[in-house]
């Protein structure tokens, strides 16, 4: 095993990171990293090309063979050291989330805490790579099952929760004994990628085990998946891109872990505690400007309590503070870029034209959309049938539980959801019939716990993250049998 020493944190993010070295990308094009609130250019970076990608994967392949041989306690110690470095560099991480992804300080602090919990869980994985001994149908024979690291994993991280949604794959893969190549989203090259190179470098990770490349999807996007080295591609992002990645991976017989889009429902049954449901639904919709795969997309409210719910909900939304994400009191900050703003504003106008009413908000200032509530919405209107991914709440009435269930399951997504009602049994019976990977009673839809299975159904993805479920995704098993006696091959040999 190569010797390594801990170093100070590198903060020059104008280079990519391959085989333990910071170097310029070899592409002819540069990429600009921009603050989504101020429009300020944070820095420019020379993009990676396919030669860089190949170097990264080949370096990871070589390093992984040695890394997998490192004793479990040493790999665990490395992850624990990485966690220590995370705490030491918390302000650096939080500040990059604010200035690069438009996170409010509230959200950035929350994302850091969620990441800490994920890393703590990952630190347990080296000692959870359990094998088995099983009996055989052949006399005198023993069956052994060994769990092993997959090899090299390609990680494509998103821009909305870039640190958390990258670390849940990176730390897990490394803890198990895999090596990793990360391509962060172009909007968040630091908080979704390059900062991990710095943090793990400071923690003393051997070179080549983690490599980070920053490049355009148009130049290296398909190659990340199709390159012969990676055994699994971990992707968090849109259903459209995820489907394309799944097709490429399937063609090359690679595993995928895909967490994709959602059109999550928040159902308020007629026996719900309204004040509790309103508070939960405001958080569920507007946390991080609604730019979360688990954010509530449609609020379904029983007809008998609809008007009272809307009145209370609009009043709470009017109280939300929005604007500068660096202000500690801001609850709703900017969207990641202007194209997202333009898309959402267009869908607001189309939904209004279809007969809906904007009760509050509906305006944009730069990349900040004021917290918006739209009523008179039906399930076929643009804001209802499409994933909003922004600070716009749509409220849809239903006459009974059967209609609510039909509305909930009518669209091809199934990531998360929530149901509010005083009768836990009734709410649970309803929730079990919603076609979704995750759903929460008398809570909001944005839940993620490091030891619980995270993932969706239908067009919301494949596989599960967290706990033993991600351990299963990021490893493989080998069957080895041992004959303890001389085997009789009758009737082949008489």
Look over the chain and give the mean of its residue pLDDT values, rounded to a whole number: 96
Please say if the pLDDT value at position 4 is more than 70. no
CA gap 208, 370 in Å, rounded: 45
Q: Domain boundaries in the chain?
A: 16-261+460-479, 265-441
336-344 mean pLDDT: 97
41-48 mean pLDDT: 96
pLDDT in tens, 438-493: 999 999 999 999 999 999 999 999 999 999 999 999 999 999 999 999 999 988 98
Give the side-chain half-sphere CA count within 13 A for 17.
29
Catalytic residues: 259
144-149 mean pLDDT: 98
pLDDT for residue 6: 56
pLDDT in tens, 435-446: 999 999 999 999
CA-based diameter of the chain, in Å? 88
Model confidence at 7, pLDDT cuts 50, 70, 90, reads low
Alpha helices in 68-194, H assignment, sequence order: 72-88, 90-101, 105-122, 162-176
pLDDT in tens, 57-115: 999 999 999 999 999 999 999 999 999 999 999 999 999 999 999 999 999 999 999 99
258-271 mean pLDDT: 97
Please say if the pLDDT value at position 426 is more than 60. yes
CATH 1.10.10.10 fits 265-441, yes or no: no
- Interacting residues of 337 by C-beta distance below 8 A, sequence separation 6+: 34, 36, 187, 367
What phi and psi, each to the nearest 5 degrees, are found at residue 342? -60, -40
User: What number does CATH give the domain 16-261+460-479?
Assistant: 3.40.605.10
pLDDT in tens, 269-328: 999 999 999 999 999 999 999 999 999 999 999 999 999 999 999 999 999 999 999 999
pLDDT for residue 37: 98
For residue 293, give the 3-state DSSP assignment. coil
pLDDT for residue 92: 97
pLDDT in tens, 361-419: 999 999 999 999 999 999 999 999 999 999 999 999 999 999 999 999 999 999 999 99
Contact 142, 136 (CB under 8 A): yes
């Amino acid at each position: 095993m190569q010797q390594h020493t801990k170093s100070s944190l590198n903060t020059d993010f104008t280079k990519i990171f391959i085989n333990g070295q910071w170097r310029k990308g070899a592409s002819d094009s540069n990429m600009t990293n921009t603050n989504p609130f101020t429009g300020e250019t944070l820095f420019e970076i020379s993009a990676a090309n396919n030669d860089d990608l190949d170097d990264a994967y080949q370096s990871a392949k070589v390093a992984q063979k040695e890394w997998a041989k490192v004793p479990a306690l040493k790999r665990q110690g490395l992850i624990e050291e990485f966690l220590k470095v995370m705490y030491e560099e918390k302000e650096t991480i939080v500040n990059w989330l604010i200035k690069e992804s438009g996170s409010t300080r509230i959200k950035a602090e929350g994302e850091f805490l969620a990441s800490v919990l994920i890393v703590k869980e990952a630190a347990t994985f080296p000692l959870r790579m359990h094998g088995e001994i099983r009996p055989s149908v052949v006399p005198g024979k023993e069956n052994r099952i060994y769990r092993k690291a997959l090899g090299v994993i390609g990680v494509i991280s998103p821009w909305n929760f870039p640190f958390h949604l990258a670390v849940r794959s990176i730390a897990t893969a490394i803890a198990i004994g895999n090596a990793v190549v990360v391509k962060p989203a172009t909007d968040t090259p630091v908080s979704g990628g390059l900062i991990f190179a710095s943090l793990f470098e400071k923690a003393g990770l051997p070179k080549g085990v983690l490599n980070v490349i920053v490049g355009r999807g148009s130049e290296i996007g398909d190659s990340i998946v199709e390159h012969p080295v990676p055994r699994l591609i971990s992707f968090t992002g849109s259903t459209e891109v995820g489907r394309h990645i799944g097709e490429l991976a399937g063609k090359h017989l690679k595993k995928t872990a895909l967490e994709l889009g959602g059109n999550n429902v928040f159902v308020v049954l007629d026996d719900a505690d309204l004040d509790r449901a309103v508070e939960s639904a405001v958080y569920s919709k507007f946390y991080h400007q609604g730019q979360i795969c688990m954010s509530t997309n449609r609020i379904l409210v029983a007809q008998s309590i609809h008007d009272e719910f809307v009145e209370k909900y609009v009043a709470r939304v009017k109280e939300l503070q929005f604007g500068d994400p660096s202000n500690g009191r801001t609850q709703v900050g900017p969207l990641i870029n202007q194209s997202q703003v333009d898309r959402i504003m267009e869908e607001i106008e189309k939904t209004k034209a279809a007969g809906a009413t904007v009760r509050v908000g509906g305006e944009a200032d730069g990349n900040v959309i004021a917290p918006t509530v739209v009523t008179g919405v039906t399930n076929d209107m643009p804001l209802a049938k499409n994933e909003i991914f922004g600070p716009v709440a749509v409220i849809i009435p239903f006459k009974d539980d059967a209609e609510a269930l039909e509305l909930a399951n009518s669209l091809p997504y199934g990531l998360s959801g929530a149901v509010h009602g005083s009768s836990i049994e009734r709410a649970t019976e309803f929730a079990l019939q919603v076609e979704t990977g995750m759903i929460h009673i008398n809570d909001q839809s944005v839940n993620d716990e490091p030891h619980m299975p995270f993932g969706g159904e239908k067009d919301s993805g494949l596989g599960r993250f967290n706990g033993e479920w991600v351990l299963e995704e990021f490893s493989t098993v080998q069957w080895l049998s041992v004959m303890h006696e001389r085997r009789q091959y009758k009737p082949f040999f008489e």
